[in-house]
Amino acid sequence: MKDETLLVTAGRDPRADYGAVNTPAYRTSTILFESFDEFEAALHDPVRRKFAYGRLGTPTSAALEDAVSQLEGGARSRLAPSGLAAITTALTAFLSAGDHLLMTQGAYPPARRFCEAALTRMGIETTYYDPLIGADIDSLFRPNTKLVYVESPSSGLFDVQDIPAIARVAHDRGAIVVMDNTWASPLYFKPFAHGVDVSIQAATKYIVGHSDAMLGVITCSEQTWRALRSTHREWGQTAGPDDIYLGLRGIRTLAVRLKQHHENGITLAHFLNKRSEVERVYHPALEGDPGHSLWKRDFLGASGLFAVQLKSWVTRRALAAMLDGLKLFGMGYSWGGYESLAAPFHLSHYRPGLTGDDPWLIRIHAGLEDRQDLTEDLAQGFQRLNANL
Ligand SMILES: *Cc1c(COP(=O)(O)O)cnc(C)c1O
């Protein structure tokens, strides 16, 4: 079955819900057992019974888990209340005191902070590596290296990682590969076909797709599933039924939305690439981007998120004049909704330890609006920028 068909059919069983097309939001804590025998059996083997208590899963959570597992190409999934909760659950499922973790410098900054704070307290050591390291990651392994964390393209600067090369080395060394696959979504990158063992989605972004819920998903291979399932239970991770419902509602239209995000993103990237105020566009689907050939080899499309670096002479005041007057681009964290966003960052936000010049970047999320309306809004923004230098 092709992805477009899976998006419509996966995790849906109308016969189980009186013919209702959508799996309803099951709002429940208590799930009643039919007999003493059944109750006792569930107590002794909680995993065997599909639904035993709201925190452990409902038909609503199972529907989304099932759909995402199939799309990612993994075996089983679990939901978490946010993308970050999915990341922290996955890391702690496979790391113990005394273990060593290899973490990409391009990771989502709150994931890096989790390593620096919580994992350090737990006695787990992190080494950050250059996202472009490829097979040379071998030299960073220690006898106690258990996990390699990848995120491709990286947060902020959109470096594309050679995931198959990194995964080959990790597996030779007896480590697993955990990936943040939020940028591409399960439609545009197939993590398990590229050697990844555990894949994470901040479903808050494209799966929910409408900027109205927080949600995370962790998808596992057969080999990694048991450890993840246990840790997920031990931490008491659970997502709310209404948020999961919004994830299910969103995922049905993921393919058509992503196509427009892809096209709008590339149109805006080309437009920005030609502007004299722009030093560099960070978008792997652009020919000439350092990650372009790997992106073409491994990815099936591009999402709407990318960044531009402005010339060093662009002042804060000029940038504020540009951004404050934009009509179609909102300024905010997060992305993946239907709406366009433009958020200012310093380069050092994504390059910790950067010395010298620290130019402004604008992180752009290309929403679903008309392409020409979006480029006109940006063109008027550049007029304001130039008038306020
Ligand atoms: C937003 C984001 C997350 C975290 O998701 P939340 O739902 O906000 O916790 C993780 N990874 C990436 C790449 C993200 O953009």
Please tell me whether the overall predicted TM-score, pTM, comes out greater than 0.95 for this model.
Answer: yes
Dist CA 64 CA 25 (whole Å): 11
Spatial CB neighbours of 44, under 8 Å, sequence gap ≥ 6: none
Is 90 exceeded by the pLDDT of residue 359?
Answer: yes
Res. 46: pLDDT tops 80: no
Is residue 196 a contact partner of residue 216, using CB atoms and an 8 Å limit? no
* Residue type for position 267: T
State whether the beta carbon of 82 lies less than 6 angstroms from ligand 1: yes
Edge-to-edge strand order for the sheet containing 198-202?
Answer: 76-80, 216-220, 198-202, 176-180, 145-151, 100-104, 125-129
Nearest CA to ligand 1 atom 5: 83
* Domains, the chain, with CATH or none: 3-251 (3.40.640.10), 255-387 (3.90.1150.10)
Q: From the CB of 88, is ligand 1 less than 6 Å away?
A: no
- Which CA distances in Å does 311 have to 114, 195, 276, 284, 359? 33, 39, 8, 20, 7
Q: In this predicted structure, what is the pLDDT of residue 355?
A: 86
244-297 pLDDT per residue, tens: 999 999 999 999 999 999 999 999 999 999 999 999 999 999 999 999 999 999
Smallest CA-to-CA distance from 303 within 255, 349, 350 is with 255
Q: What residue owns the CA closest to ligand 1's atom 4?
A: 83
Tokens 């931490």 belong to which residue?
Answer: 235
The minimum-distance atom of ligand 1 relative to the CA of 87 is 10
- Shortest-distance atom of ligand 1 to CA 202: 5
Strand partners, 76: 220
Block residue for tokens 């200012």: 344
